[in-house]
Amino acid sequence: MARDPDYGAFTDKFVLEPTSSAHDQPLHGLTFAVKDIFDVEGYVTGFGNPDWARTHSAATSTAPAVLAVLGGGATCVGKTVMDEMAYSINGENIHYGTPINPCAPDRVPGGSSSGSAVAVGAKLVDFSLGTDTGGSVRVPASYCGILGFRPSHDAVPSAGVIPMAQSFDTVGWFARDPVILSRVGHTLLQKSVMGPAKPSQIIIAEDLFQLSIIPNDRLGQVLVKSVEKIYGGHIVKHMVLGDYVREKTLSNVLRSLQRYEFKDNHGEWITEVKPELGPGISERVWEAVRTTGENIDACRSVKTELHAALATLLQDFGILAIPTVPGPPPKLQTDPTTLEIFRAKAFSLLSIAGVSGFCQVSIPLGMHENLPVAVSLLAKQGSDAFLLNVVESLYGTLKEQVEITGK
């Protein structure tokens, strides 16, 4: 049990009352927290680093995404810890402390939306808002054993959110319950709830499941059996994606463009202030500051090509299934070199949604050897409501299958 009743998840605790108290609002009675990358009027947006907080003024308005869920009837209870400048997927912060992973206290919580994931996983709030550029919602969702949704690129307004790399930045969210995940999604996406829609196909990416160190009977097979029970086995297709994703190429594209855009956003401030940054993050930040625009046009061409190829593969109602990450959460204070190897492998999986702009949900599949595991579903850009609907339909059966497999 954590010593800190808040699991170290919060940087600031306060209450923002919902702007609508009507009982028929979709989020009425729910509480949420926001990553310290979202503007909240009257508070400095800290971006995970005290030097950033020291050199920036309090926000004069609140981010539209936060206003949207307040308008949906939810109550905000504070801001959460994040990795410095959103440049990590580990969840460790040398300045504000590392939020405690409620599933595995000796393991990292995942980042960069670490506190937002922990607040949900520890049942401190009903849902939370985070951001996902390279994996910052999907990774902590997987590590903390909760649901995490990265929407289609540009599906949710990112105004009032500090940019990391605009070609990939998204406003995402966490929940423990698929119904709440869906309600938050429809509120943020400003789309009406759609009726049940059956996937036309669910593609099991065999080569990508081989990247995971978790046995396939705890990942792919659990998903396949659940899909067969709900939709029938005829929609399941096993496929080697190969050239569709070209893992190393996609990872390099994401990281190259990310460095270039991060420098454009923050290079001047970093050079002038020279902020104190934690291990791993410091190296990545300064590497970004030194980067040039070489090969950027080629990277953007790959983005366009991947989007077209995956759109053709999945069509309107297809789903791609992959592991969220290649394994369980690493131990706290793991050697940075070891973490970097794991990070590179993780980006082979994470870069697919990032580079294509498709939506992705990470779904917990219980525990394996006392550590949380997860699978992800991806759908075509703009199919967010459909993907949320599929999660609601599948979730109960997935839980049942996890219990059967674990016996």
* Catalytic, out of 88, 114, 116, 136: 136
Provide the token pair at 143.
Answer: 């590590």
End-to-end CA separation in angstroms for the chain: 26
d(C-alpha 384, C-alpha 230), whole Å: 20
> Is 136 in the active site?
yes
- Determine phi and psi for 358, rounding to 5 degrees: -75, 160
* Catalytic, out of 88, 112, 383, 393: 112
> Within 10 Å of residue 163's Cβ, how many Cβ atoms?
16
> Is 331 in the active site?
no
**Omega into 112 within 30° of 0, i.e. cis?**
yes
Contacts of residue 133, defined as CB under 8 A and 6 or more positions apart, other chains included, come to: 86, 164, 165, 168, 169, 170, 258, 354
Contacts of residue 24, defined as CB under 8 A and 6 or more positions apart, other chains included, come to: none
> Is 35 in the active site?
yes
Looking at the annotation, which residues are catalytic?
35, 112, 136
